[in-house]
C-alpha cells in the first residue's frame, strides 16, 4: 500500500538520497555531480527550510520511495539562496562538500546555459518530483501530484510550472496526463559532456484556476 503524507524537515536525508539516486535522467547524479551533500543542500534543503509549500512524500511499508516538493513563491526561493550563500560557502571551504571541484563543472555550465521559465505572474509555483525505480508503475507519481496540486489550489495559487527534458519520457507522460502543457522547449548543450549530445529542455505549465 502506498501512503502519502506531508514532508518533514527530518526527511531531508531520505529525500536527498532519492534525488541523488535519480538525478541523471533516472540514474545516479554521481556521473556529473560527485558531491551528494551539496546536491542535497542545493536542491532539497531549501524547500524543507521555510520557502517550500505543499511538500509530500510517498511511503511503502514505512519507507520513503518518492517525494514532491515546490514553492509557490519564486522570489522567496531566490532570497533563500542569497541568505544561505555564506553558509554554503563556509561549509565548502571547511571541506563539508567532498567532490566539490568536479561538481563545479556542472554548476558553471548550469549558470552559462541557464533554464528558462514561464511568467511567474501566471505560474508563480514550481515543483520537483522524484521516485525510486521500484515505486514506478504503482501510481505513486500520480498520487503525489494530486496531493500537491490540490494543496496549491487550496492556497489560491493560480498556476504552476516545472522544468524537465525530453529524456524523461515517463515523467512527460505523467505531466501531460495531468493537464500540463508545454510552454517552451529548446535544445541546450548543458548535458553534452555527460550525454555526448544536446538535450531538449522543456518548461511545462498548468493553470490551477479552472
For the segment 72-84, what is each residue's pLDDT rounded down to a tens digit?
988 888 888 788 8
Residue 161's pLDDT band, with cuts at 50, 70 and 90, is very high
Residue 174, classed as helix, strand or coil, is: helix
Q: CB of 15 within 8 A of CB of 44? A: yes
**What confidence tens digit (pLDDT) does each residue in 102-119 have?**
999 999 999 999 889 999
How much is the mean pLDDT over the chain? 93
Q: Taking CA 101 as the corner, what is the angle to CA 96 and CA 105, rounded to the nearest 5 degrees?
A: 130
Q: CB of 2 within 8 A of CB of 58? A: yes
pLDDT of 201 reads 96
pLDDT of 129 reads 97
pLDDT of 135 reads 86
C-alpha cell at 34: 560527485
Residue 36 predicted with pLDDT over 80: yes
Please give the model's pTM, rounded to 2 decimal places.
0.94
**Cα 24 to chain center, whole Å?**
12
pLDDT of 115 reads 81
Rounded CA-CA distance 49/12 in Å is 10
Rounded CA-CA distance 14/64 in Å is 7
pLDDT of 148 reads 98
Amino acid at each position: 500500500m502506498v501512503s502519502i503524507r506531508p514532508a518533514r524537515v527530518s526527511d531531508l536525508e531520505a529525500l536527498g538520497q532519492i534525488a541523488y539516486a535519480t538525478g541523471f535522467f533516472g540514474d545516479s547524479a554521481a556521473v556529473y555531480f560527485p558531491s551528494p551533500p551539496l546536491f542535497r543542500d542545493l536542491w532539497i534543503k531549501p524547500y524543507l527550510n521555510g520557502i517550500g509549500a505543499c511538500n509530500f512524500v510517498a511511503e511503502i511499508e514505512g519507507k520513503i520511495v518518492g517525494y514532491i516538493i515546490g514553492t509557490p513563491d519564486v522570489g522567496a526561493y531566490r532570497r533563500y539562496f542569497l541568505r544561505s550563500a555564506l553558509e554554503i560557502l563556509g561549509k565548502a571551504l571547511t571541506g563539508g562538500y567532498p567532490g566539490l571541484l568536479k561538481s563545479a563543472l556542472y554548476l558553471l555550465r548550469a549558470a552559462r546555459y541557464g533554464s528558462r521559465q514561464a511568467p511567474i505572474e501566471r505560474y508563480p509555483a514550481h515543483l520537483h518530483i522524484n521516485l525510486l525505480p521500484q515505486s514506478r508503475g504503482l501510481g505513486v507519481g500520480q498520487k503525489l501530484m494530486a496531493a500537491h496540486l490540490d494543496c496549491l489550489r487550496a492556497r489560491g495559487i493560480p498556476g504552476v510550472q516545472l522544468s524537465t527534458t525530453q529524456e524523461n519520457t515517463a515523467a512527460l507522460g505523467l505531466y501531460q496526463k495531468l493537464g500540463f502543457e508545454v510552454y517552451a522547449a529548446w535544445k541546450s548543450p548543458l548535458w553534452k559532456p555527460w550525454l555526448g549530445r544536446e538535450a531538449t529542455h522543456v518548461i511545462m505549465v498548468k493553470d490551477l484556476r479552472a
